[in-house]
Chain A
Amino acid sequence: MPTPKKRRRTLSQVMRGIRRRARRAVGGVRRVWRRSLQLRVVTSTMVISIVVVAVLGVFLMQSISTTILGARDRAARSEAQADRKAVLVSLNQHDGDASKQSADPGQGAGRGEDNPLAALASLAGRAGPAVRYSVVIRNENLPGEFYATTNIDETSIPQKLREDVLRKPADEDSTQYWNLRYKDRPQTVPGLVIGTRLDTYGTGLDDGYEIYHLIPLEEEEKNLTSVRQMLILVGAALVLLLAAISSLVTRQVVTPVRLARQAAERLASGHLDERLKVRGEDDLARLAASFNEMATTLALKIHQLEELSHVQRQFVSDVSHELRTPLTTVRMAADLLYDAREDFDPMAARSAELMQNQLNRFESMLADLLEISRYDAGAAELDVEPVDVRDVVLRAVADSEALAERHSTRFDLRLPGEPCMAEMDSRRVERILRNLLFNAIEHGEGRDIVVSVGADRDAVAVAVRDHGVGLKPGEENMVFDRFWRADPSRARTIGGTGLGLAISREDAMLHGGWLQAWGAHGEGSQFRLSLPRAAGAPLRGSPLPLVPPEVEMRRTWRGHMTPVLSPAAADGGRDAD
Chain B
Amino acid sequence: MSILPILPVLIPFAAAILMLLLANRTAAHRALNLFSTLLLAAASGFMLQSVVADGPMALRIGGWDAPFAIAFVADTLSAVMTCAAALIGLTTAIYSLGAVDKTREHHFYHPLLQLLLMGVNGAFLTGDVFNLYVWFEVMLISSFVLLVLGSTPRQLEGAIKYVTLNLLSSAIFLAATGMLYGMAGTLNMADLALRIPHVEHRELMQVVSVLFLVTFGVKAALFPLFFWLPASYHTPPVAVSAMFAGLLTKVGVYALIRFFTTIFTGEDAELAHRLLLWTGGFTMVTGVLGAVAQYDVRKLLSFHIISQIGYMVFAVAIHSPLAVAGGLFYMLHNIAAKTNLFYMAGIMKRLGGSYDLRRIGGLYRPFPLLGLLFLVPALGLAGIPPLSGFWAKLLVIRAAMETGHWTLAGIALGVGMLTLFSMIKIWNEGFWKEHPDSGHDPADSSFHDLGPEKQAMMIAPVVMLALVTVAFGFWFEPVFALVDHAARELLDPARYIAAALGGAQ
Partners in one complex: no
Interface residues of B (CB under 8 A from A): none
Interface residues of A (CB under 8 A from B): none
